[in-house]
């Protein structure tokens, strides 16, 4: 997939921008200060004299920071296939394309800023919610002859420019005509309008003194919304000052050329937000007079398979792991990775490593991902939350058909005490299709269904050993819940199952001799529902409980205890095994991969996040209790809006009690419709009994309406509905941010090069390498056999 770099213009500046870049690019920074005649670092980092928002300073500062950001970006990856900039940003695009040097570009921007900064008595206003035809009609209807269209940013985002008094006076008529927002901008001039013809001519005279090279990368011009041609640079830059910025058409033009990924290069995310709106409603190719390229014939469309050495490991792995003679990781590292954790885990599930990829709800841990993991000899779990029973069955059938009978995999089951039939249906499905491995999550007590699944699989082999044919891995974060899975299945439930004839007398007897679970996964701070536990406190507590229970009940096979949450780098893997984990489980790192069942829009966002880009919000499915989930925060309104909804729910007893100001905010920004309309929509979807309860209980009605926001946000993220991108609800933990930083500058920086099984190889082999080097620093090489498992290596110390 090709990529386009976008460079923002005036309005994206902020104090502190470029702080991390100036020391790395000192020569460029010093040259910039010499050209400008003032300290560019002081202006951008501290802005002591409050000059950064003045045009003559804003434009040079943004040019320098955007250009350094570009240089830093291409030091780690290939240059883009297209570049374009918004107004001032076009100068950075031209620099990136090799049309002029950094210094020449800054001289041009300095002059442009001085000329434009001297323009007075003009004004501009941003409009949201009106299409171009409507804006033109309003200008004509109210005889606003002094106003021009300055920026055509997207289908319903337009900036007007003109005489200041007329811009301010037009607000009431635009708002009365349907504008969702009319926002006068803090500028001194009527930029990109006829009122800058004089400034444009003055700049044109200055530009004549420069020569320009042909673009090495296609640059889309603001003036024409088409690529620059050789020899046109001076003319286009001159005209741009007093001409409309055709951003909507520029991006739509690129969307007609090829499949593209867009990346904003510079401070802020103004252009990223615009891109999302444009991609949801681009200008049709025919309307722009463009014939889009024909799609490739079906035979040419094939799965992207990473280039490999020895037909197993991808070529990029040698960026992280020393390569052996066979082209794969060194044999000692492979042996150590295969020896980390419990051998019983690998034997039980028939896998290479003591590693599992946990289930992700709403089908994000897709059947395709499960099959790829299984074929690589790795365990992963299919998610069932938010997925219909029919879809679960279809997914299981796909996995069995594609993977064969020996494929290691499991399926998730969640606790539903309010809807026990949900668990019963799933368990019946599991038994019918021979699902032998289940991941049990969110249990506060054992249900009849989960006990039935466990006991139904018990039998004795021909040597008289008890075999648990149905394996359970319990995910939990509380010691009291661990206790119920460490104990045998509850006698009372087993007796009921026996009385109903659902299990045999022998199975009932055997149930007293086995634990409820084969494995317990101690879940630390994680994506989605989380108790925000610290792994280094939680895992030892659960392990000690396990040791005490095994000692007391003398199980033939002890329960294994693993850990999940926060595992996104090799050293985190190593730390988990040193702490005594029998296995590890990953989650968030698998969501940002090719085969994950979420939208491209979400994956594009996730691959850019850092450690600090998650937050906590109320859970939609447990809204009334205030249960928290961990979600993506960067660029999102969702966490703040979800918390606001819960705050209103706690404070008021009904929708009618909510103050007018808050209610208006909910209707205009959160739901984009009246709360009454939301409830009408809910009545068409929910069970009549639920609606009846809501009509009798105003607080329950309020909860249903508020929970609807969570449902819409979740579905929009899964589908990639970029029209409401800021409201996406995306489960995510800091582990993904840590992984992103670790693989920065490598092929894995892009999610399009990530597959869950390759992430697993990297984590496990990287963890083994970390352990090898860690132990060797404490002992002579003769004292340590680096092919031995981590638990044996630890005894050296």
Residue 87 lies in a domain: yes
pLDDT digits (tens, 9 = 90+) for 545-555: 999 998 899 89
Q: How confident is the model at residue 273 (pLDDT cuts 50, 70, 90)?
A: confident
Residues 645 and 715 in one domain: yes
Does pLDDT of 793 surpass 80? no
Taking Cα atoms as reference points, which of 623, 624, 621, 643 lies closest to residue 633? 643
Q: How confident is the model at residue 678 (pLDDT cuts 50, 70, 90)?
A: very high
pLDDT at position 667 is 92
pLDDT digits (tens, 9 = 90+) for 611-648: 899 999 998 888 888 888 899 998 889 999 999 999 99
Residue 753 lies in a domain: no
pLDDT digits (tens, 9 = 90+) for 373-407: 999 999 999 999 888 898 899 999 999 988 888 99
pLDDT average, residue stretch 80-94 = 97
Does pLDDT of 301 surpass 50? no
- What does DSSP say about strands 157-163 and 122-128: parallel, antiparallel, or unpaired? antiparallel
As a whole number of angstroms, the distance between CA 764 and CA 708 comes to 41
pLDDT average, residue stretch 52-58 = 94
pLDDT at position 308 is 59
pLDDT at position 310 is 55
Residue 548 lies in a domain: yes
**Considering the chain, what percentage of its residues have pLDDT values greater than 90?**
69
Residues 528 and 584 in one domain: yes
Taking Cα atoms as reference points, which of 297, 295, 294, 245 lies closest to residue 274? 245
For the chain, the residue count is: 797
E strand or H helix at 190 = none
Residues 29 and 93 in one domain: yes
Residue 769 lies in a domain: no
CATH code assigned at 453: 3.20.20.70
Does pLDDT of 306 surpass 90? no
Residues 514 and 629 in one domain: no
Q: How confident is the model at residue 327 (pLDDT cuts 50, 70, 90)?
A: low
Number of domains present in the structure of the chain = 4
Residue 459 lies in a domain: yes
The mean-pLDDT minimum among 108-112, 280-284, 465-469 falls in 280-284
Residue 742 lies in a domain: no
pLDDT average, residue stretch 687-712 = 91
Give exposure, 418-440, as e/b (b: 16+ Cβ within 10 Å).
Answer: eeeebbbebbebbeeeebbbbbb
CATH code assigned at 127: 3.30.70.250
Taking Cα atoms as reference points, which of 408, 410, 434 lies closest to residue 352? 408
Give strand pairing partners of 616. Answer: 630
pTM score above 0.75: no
pLDDT at position 773 is 87
Residue 760 lies in a domain: no
Does pLDDT of 208 surpass 70? yes
- How many C-beta atoms surround the C-beta of residue 258 within 10 A? 13
pLDDT average, residue stretch 456-473 = 92
Does pLDDT of 196 surpass 80? yes
Residues 644 and 723 in one domain: yes
pLDDT digits (tens, 9 = 90+) for 359-370: 998 889 999 999
* Domain finish residue from 556, 591, 626: 591
- What does DSSP say about strands 466-468 and 458-460: parallel, antiparallel, or unpaired? antiparallel
* Domain finish residue from 257, 273, 288: 288
pLDDT average, residue stretch 129-139 = 95
Give strand pairing partners of 263. Answer: 5
Please state the φ and ψ torsions of residue 97, each to the nearest 5 degrees: -85, 0
- Catalytic machinery residues: 87, 192
pLDDT average, residue stretch 20-49 = 95
Q: How confident is the model at residue 722 (pLDDT cuts 50, 70, 90)?
A: confident
Q: How confident is the model at residue 784 (pLDDT cuts 50, 70, 90)?
A: very low
pLDDT average, residue stretch 273-287 = 84
Does pLDDT of 53 surpass 60? yes
Does pLDDT of 294 surpass 60? no
The stretches of 88-170 forming alpha helices (DSSP H) are 89-96, 102-117, 132-141, 164-169
Q: Which domain holds residue 171?
A: 120-190
Burial class (CB in 10 A: 0-12, 13-18, 19+), 116: buried
As a whole number of angstroms, the distance between CA 482 and CA 105 comes to 64
pLDDT at position 779 is 60
Does pLDDT of 98 surpass 90? yes
- What does DSSP say about strands 560-564 and 584-586: parallel, antiparallel, or unpaired? parallel
pLDDT digits (tens, 9 = 90+) for 229-263: 989 999 999 999 999 999 999 999 998 887 788 99
Residue 521 half-sphere exposure toward CB, CA atoms < 13 A? 28
Residues 106 and 215 in one domain: yes
* Domain finish residue from 683, 707, 729: 729
Q: How confident is the model at residue 266 (pLDDT cuts 50, 70, 90)?
A: very high
Residues 210 and 147 in one domain: no
How many distinct helices (H) and strands (E) make up the chain? 33, 22
CATH code assigned at 109: 3.40.366.10
pLDDT digits (tens, 9 = 90+) for 488-509: 999 999 999 999 999 999 999 9
Residue 746 lies in a domain: no
Does pLDDT of 796 surpass 50? no
pLDDT at position 792 is 43
Question: Which residues fall within 8 angstroms of residue 237, CB to CB, at 6 or more apart?
Answer: 90, 91, 108, 203, 207
The mean-pLDDT minimum among 131-140, 467-476, 581-590, 711-720 falls in 711-720
Q: How confident is the model at residue 202 (pLDDT cuts 50, 70, 90)?
A: very high
Residues 210 and 344 in one domain: no
Residues 722 and 650 in one domain: yes
Residues 105 and 200 in one domain: yes
Sign of CA dihedral 526, 532, 534, 535: negative
State which of 76-85, 87-96, 664-673 shows the largest mean pLDDT: 87-96
Question: Which residues fall within 8 angstroms of residue 367, CB to CB, at 6 or more apart?
Answer: 382, 395, 398, 399, 402
Residues 314 and 759: beta-carbon distance below 8 Å: no
Q: How confident is the model at residue 292 (pLDDT cuts 50, 70, 90)?
A: low
pLDDT at position 303 is 43
Residues 493 and 618 in one domain: no
pLDDT at position 295 is 47
pLDDT digits (tens, 9 = 90+) for 566-592: 899 999 999 999 999 999 999 999 999
Please state the φ and ψ torsions of residue 67, each to the nearest 5 degrees: -65, -40
Residues 426 and 525 in one domain: yes
Residues 446 and 435: beta-carbon distance below 8 Å: no
Does pLDDT of 305 surpass 80? no
């Amino acid at each position: 997939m090709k990529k386009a770099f976008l460079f923002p213009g005036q309005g994206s500046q902020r104090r502190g921008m470029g702080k991390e870049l100036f020391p790395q690019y000192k020569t460029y920074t010093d040259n910039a200060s010499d050209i400008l005649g003032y300290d560019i670092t002081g202006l951008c980092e501290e802005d002591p004299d409050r000059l950064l928002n003045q045009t003559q300073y804003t434009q040079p500062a943004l040019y320098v920071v955007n250009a350094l950001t570009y240089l830093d970006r291409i030091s780690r990856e290939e240059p883009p296939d297209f570049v374009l900039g918004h107004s001032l940003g076009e100068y950075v695009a031209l620099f990136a394309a090799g049309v002029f040097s950094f210094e020449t570009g800054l001289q041009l921007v300095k002059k442009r800023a001085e000329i434009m900064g001297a323009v007075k008595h003009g004004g501009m206003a941003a409009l949201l919610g009106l299409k171009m035809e409507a804006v033109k009609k309003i200008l004509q209807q109210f005889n606003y002859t002094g106003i021009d269209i300055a920026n055509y940013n997207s289908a319903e985002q337009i900036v007007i420019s003109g005489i200041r008094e007329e811009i301010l006076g037009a607000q009431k008529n635009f708002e009365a005509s349907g504008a969702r927002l009319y926002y006068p901008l803090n500028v001194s001039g009527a930029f990109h309008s006829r009122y800058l013809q004089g400034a444009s001519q003055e700049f044109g005279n200055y530009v004549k003194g420069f020569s320009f090279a042909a673009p090495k990368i296609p640059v889309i011009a603001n003036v024409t919304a088409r690529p620059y041609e050789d020899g046109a640079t001076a003319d286009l830059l001159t005209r741009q000052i007093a001409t409309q910025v055709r951003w909507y058409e520029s991006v739509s033009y690129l969307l007609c050329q090829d499949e593209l990924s867009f990346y904003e290069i510079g401070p802020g995310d103004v252009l990223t937000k615009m891109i999302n709106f444009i991609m949801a409603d681009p200008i049709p190719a025919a309307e722009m007079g463009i014939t889009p390229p024909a799609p490739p014939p079906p035979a040419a469309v094939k799965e992207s398979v990473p280039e490999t050495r020895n037909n197993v490991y991808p070529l990029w792995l040698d960026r992280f792991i020393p390569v052996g003679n066979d082209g794969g990781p060194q044999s000692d590292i492979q042996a150590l990775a295969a020896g980390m954790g419990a051998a019983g885990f690998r034997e039980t599930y028939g896998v290479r490593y003591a590693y599992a990829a946990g289930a992700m709800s709403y089908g994000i841990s897709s059947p395709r991902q499960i099959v790829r993991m299984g074929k690589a000899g790795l365990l992963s779990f299919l998610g069932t939350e938010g997925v219909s029973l029919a879809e679960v069955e279809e997914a299981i059938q796909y996995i069995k058909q594609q993977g064969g009978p020996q494929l290691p995999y499991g399926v998730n089951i969640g606790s539903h005490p309010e809807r026990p039939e949900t668990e019963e249906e799933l368990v019946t499905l599991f038994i019918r299709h021979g699902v032998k491995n289940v991941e049990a999550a969110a249990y506060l007590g054992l249900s009849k269904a989960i006990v039935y699944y466990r006991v139904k699989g018990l039998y004795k082999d021909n040597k008289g050993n008890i075999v648990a044919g149905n394996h359970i891995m319990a995910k939990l974060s509380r010691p009291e819940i661990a206790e119920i899975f460490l104990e045998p299945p509850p006698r009372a439930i087993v007796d009921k199952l026996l009385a109903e004839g659902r299990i045999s007398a022998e199975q009932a007897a055997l149930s007293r001799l086995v634990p409820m679970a084969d494995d317990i996964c101690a879940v630390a701070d994680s994506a989605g529902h989380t108790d925000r536990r610290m792994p280094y406190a939680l895992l030892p507590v659960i392990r000690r409980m396990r040791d005490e229970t095994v000692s007391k009940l003398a199980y033939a096979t002890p329960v294994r205890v693993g850990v999940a949450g926060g595992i996104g780098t090799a050293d985190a893997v190593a730390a988990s095994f040193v702490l005594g984990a029998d296995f590890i489980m990953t989650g968030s790192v698998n969501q940002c991969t090719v085969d994950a069942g979420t939208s491209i829009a979400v994956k594009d966002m996730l691959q850019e996040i850092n450690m600090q880009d998650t937050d906590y919000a109320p859970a939609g499915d447990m809204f009334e209790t205030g249960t928290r989930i961990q979600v993506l925060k960067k660029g999102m309104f969702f966490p703040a809006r979800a918390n606001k909804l819960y705050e209103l729910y706690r404070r008021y007893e009904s929708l009618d009690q909510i103050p007018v100001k808050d209610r208006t905010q909910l209707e205009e920004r959160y739901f984009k419709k009246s709360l009454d309309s939301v409830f009408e929509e809910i009545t068409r979807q929910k069970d009549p009994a639920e609606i009846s309860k809501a009509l009798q209980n105003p607080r329950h009605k309020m909860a249903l309406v508020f929970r609807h926001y969570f449902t819409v946000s979740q579905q929009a993220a899964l589908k990639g509905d970029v029209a409401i991108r800021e409201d996406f609800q995306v489960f995510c933990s800091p582990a993904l941010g840590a992984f992103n930083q670790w693989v920065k500058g490598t092929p894995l920086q892009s999610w399009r090069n990530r597959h869950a099984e390759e992430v697993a190889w990297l984590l496990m082999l990287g963890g083994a390498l970390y352990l090898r080097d860690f132990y060797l620093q404490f002992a002579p090489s003769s004292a340590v056999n680096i092919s031995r498992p981590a638990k044996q290596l630890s005894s050296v110390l």
